[in-house]
Amino acid sequence: MENQGKNMNVFIMADMEGISGICRSSQVKPDGVDYQSARRYLTYDVNACIDGCFAGGAKKVVVRDAHSFGFHFIWDELDARAEYIQGASPLERIPDIQNYDGLILLGYHAMAGTPQAILEHTMNSKAWQNFTMNGRKCGEIAIDAGIAGDYNVPIIMVSGDDKLCKEVRRFLKGTLTAQVKKGFDVEGGKLLSKNCAHDLIRETARKAVASCKKIKPYKVKSPVTMRVEVVSRIKLPFGNKNVKIIDGRTYEVSGSNVEETLKLL
């Protein structure tokens, strides 16, 4: 059983809001007073996850710096065994995901509107109130699981707060979760210590890679319809033939799969 993870190619999407040690917005914004230390916390969680992947039998690990514009890792402190994607990739949110056996969503957060979830939002914290995919309200877990699912790649592990882990269990079957904190508020919670959080991430990643083959991909039925309800009045995308305006604050797009549909938004 332990050698089932042998020769796996693993992709890690690393967001910031669900990283251990992070529980306020000044930590995830480059002009925030706590941002520089939070970059270290992100880098350490990434290293712990990579270490676990190789312990579980991974052959190759690629990590995307997936928060905001994607320039947050402390590059010279990253694990030498992996490769890293930083900055923009306009054509693909998860580049070449079809070449991987499993995807890990590290440091993710619960969907917009989740009570007592640390830094909850969906894609755009200022603009998006609610988001649905084929009529089901969801967040970034389902979006990224859906993109990987377009290519039959499973989400093997997720890390973040307790609300995120609960959301994962509602959407994904068999995905391992590393709960590194418990949310009390959008900006507040109970955090594991650094060593405990890293041990948990490392061990969960090891088990996830070792059991990679048993976890099923998340498939979203085609055609995919995505509906966005915005927080306040915005300039609606009139005249775009891919967009259907539902009302002054709601519009939707449809496409053949999750990845294609997301690009239309």
Note the residues at the interface with Zn ion (CB under 5 A): 15-17, 67
For Zn ion, the nearest residue by Cβ is: 67
Give every strand in the sheet of 155-161, ordered side by side.
83-85, 58-65, 8-14, 102-106, 155-161, 176-185, 188-191
Task: Output the smallest distance, CB 129 to Zn ion, in A.
Answer: 17
Smallest gap from Cβ 16 to Zn ion, in A, equals 5
Nearer of residues 67 and 93 to Zn ion, judged by Cβ: 67
Cα separation, 53 vs 210, whole angstroms: 8
At residue 251, the 3 state secondary structure works out as: strand
Closest to Zn ion by CB, 39 vs 207, is 39
In the complex, least distance from residue 67 CB atom to Zn ion, rounded to whole angstroms: 4
Residues 121 and 29 sit within 8 Å (Cβ to Cβ): no
Minimum CB distance to Zn ion, residue 142 (Å)? 16
Tell me whether residue 57 or residue 146 sits nearer to Zn ion (CB atom): 146
**Coil, helix or strand for 152?**
coil
Nearer Cβ to Zn ion (16/142): 16
Strands in 134-203 per DSSP E = 136-137, 155-161, 176-185, 188-191
